[in-house]
Structure 1
Amino acid sequence: MTIEWDEPANGWSAPKLSKWLEATIDDASQLFYSKPAMAMGEGGTIPFMAMLGEQFPSAQFVITGVLGPNSNAHGPNEFLHLPFAKKLSACVAYILNQYPS
């Protein structure tokens, strides 16, 4: 067995969500999925997010994916669950529309 290591990257810790964003995310989830929003931290890293966090330290971020039922991410027969993806797109549009002006 041979192990080749990739160069490690710095992690990124998302800032706490503002009250309006937290409430709006939950509203969008209830509106389009009829369920409360859920959050999950997984301990990985997205180098692009670390760069954005450094560049825009007071920005709020909504990082999401389109893994729906049985999408089998990064495995054989990976696919995009279109009904789930459409609802997620609607949630993002709703959140952007609710941004306080």
Structure 2
Amino acid sequence: MTVEAAPGHTPGHLAIAVRDPSGGGAEGVWIVGDVLHSPAQIADPALAFASDVAPDLARAVRDRVLGRPDTVIAAGHFTDDMFGRVTRSAEARTWTPVGGSPASR
């Protein structure tokens, strides 16, 4: 488990990355806290949350989160399907809930 700086929403905000300690699997889980507030930010990471203290910095962190391969994202603010993966096509990013089919574009 590693703790990573994820500033932008609030000063000192952190995200937690969890990986298999044996190194046997490439996949991990990134617990992102206030980095993502809505599935709409998957398709458009420029959407800022009203209380982001540094919106440009928050967007840079979202871009980093959304670009991380082989990672399940734990998005606690999502009302449904809090665990998912972001896949990218030429047209859009898509949120795919763990164990489900693509949910948003």
- TM tier, smaller: under 0.3
The structure whose Rg is larger is: 1
Task: Give 1 or 2: higher strand fraction.
Answer: 2
TM-score by length of 1: 0.25
TM-score by length of 2: 0.24
